[in-house]
């Protein structure tokens, strides 16, 4: 091979290798199919209800709404080569432990929950510049949590954990009035012989510009994000407006 050709061949190979190396640290969509998405679901879950669904390793759950995840619709596991690295969010650890705890596995390595959220959802959200690193993704979720302030909103509306029941329409009206948009509220259906559903998850939706929008899909369009919490045979689903709703303060009735 002539020196000039050898030089260009070597340079080309080096460029390809460098490109592949960079792909492991920056977002690249699948070569086989893209992962388009239109909006983000920012999910809070009620730890007491989560523990009711599975009490195997759930002890003394927080009595405030915690983050479940920040999920792009219609996209999952977008970049399997971009591995979770907890050291990238070391500056966020205090807030992560408090506002985004692993409710179900409090005695285990809590980072596994965050790893799951990054692998499945964060690598898809990273198409946005505001979310294109692990620190940005988790940091922005923590920022949105403070901005939304679901705990404060419900308290101001007089809705707090109780042994009595609430009307789902009253909860919806309070949230819609406060935020100006309609969130998606999910409940645990009534157990056999019971009449009330149990509130478990509240999701707020954001545009790619991180502006609040209604969560409910337009008429005739299916909702692309299903319940993200299923434990055994129990699964959250969109709450029934006609059923009384339990907002539990303590974990009771473990199965």
pLDDT for 217: 62
Question: Which band of pLDDT confidence, cut at 50, 70 and 90, is reported for residue 228?
Answer: low
Which residue did the predictor score with more confidence, 149 or 231?
149
Handedness of CA 41, 44, 49, 55 (dihedral sign): positive
Q: Confirm whether 121 is a catalytic residue.
A: yes
Question: Out of 34-38, 201-205, 240-244, which region has the weakest mean confidence (pLDDT)?
Answer: 34-38
Residue-wise pLDDT tens digits, 65-96: 999 999 999 889 999 999 999 999 999 999 99
Structure tokens at 19: 């490109």
- Mean pLDDT, rounded, for 157-162: 96
Question: Which band of pLDDT confidence, cut at 50, 70 and 90, is reported for residue 8?
Answer: very low
- The phi, psi pair for 213, rounded to 5°, reads -140, 170
Residue 63 scores a pLDDT above 70: yes
Residue 147 scores a pLDDT above 90: yes
DSSP designation for 108: S
Q: Domains plus CATH for the chain?
A: 36-246 (3.90.730.10)
Q: Confirm whether 117 is a catalytic residue.
A: yes
Structure tokens at 21: 């190396």
What SS3 class is residue 116? helix
Element spanning 46, H or E: none
pLDDT for 7: 40
Which residue in the list 68, 129, 143, 173 is annotated as catalytic? 68
Q: Where are the alpha helices (DSSP H) in the chain?
A: 3-23, 47-53, 93-99, 111-117, 123-125, 134-148, 150-156, 168-179
pTM value is 0.82
Which residue in the list 44, 45, 117, 228 is annotated as catalytic? 117
Q: Confirm whether 68 is a catalytic residue.
A: yes
């Amino acid at each position: 091979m002539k020196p000039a050709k050898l030089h260009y061949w070597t340079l080309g190979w080096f460029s390809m290798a460098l490109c592949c190396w960079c792909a492991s640290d920056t977002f690249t969509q699948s070569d086989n199919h893209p992962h388009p998405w239109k909006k983000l679901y920012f999910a809070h879950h009620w730890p007491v209800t989560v523990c009711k669904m599975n009490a195997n390793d759930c002890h003394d759950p927080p009595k405030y709404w915690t983050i479940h995840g920040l999920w792009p619709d219609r996209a999952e596991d977008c970049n399997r080569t971009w591995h979770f690295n907890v050291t990238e969010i070391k500056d966020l650890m205090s807030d992560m432990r408090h506002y985004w705890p692993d409710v179900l596995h409090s005695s285990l390595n809590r980072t596994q929950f965050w790893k799951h959220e990054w692998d499945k959802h964060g690598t898809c959200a990273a198409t946005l510049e505001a979310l294109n690193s692990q620190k940005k993704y988790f940091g922005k979720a923590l920022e949105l949590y403070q901005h939304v302030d679901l705990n404060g909103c419900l308290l101001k509306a007089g809705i707090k954990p109780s042994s009595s029941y609430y009307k789902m329409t009253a909860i919806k009206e309070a949230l819609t009035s406060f935020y100006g948009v309609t969130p998606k509220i999910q409940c645990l259906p009534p157990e056999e012989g019971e009449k009330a559903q149990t509130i478990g998850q509240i999701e707020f939706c954001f545009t790619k510009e991180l502006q609040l929008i209604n969560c409910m899909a337009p008429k005739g369009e299916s909702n692309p994000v299903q319940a993200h919490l299923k434990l055994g045979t129990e699964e959250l689903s969109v709450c029934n407006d006609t059923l009384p709703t339990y907002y539990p303060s303590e974990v009771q009735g473990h199965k």
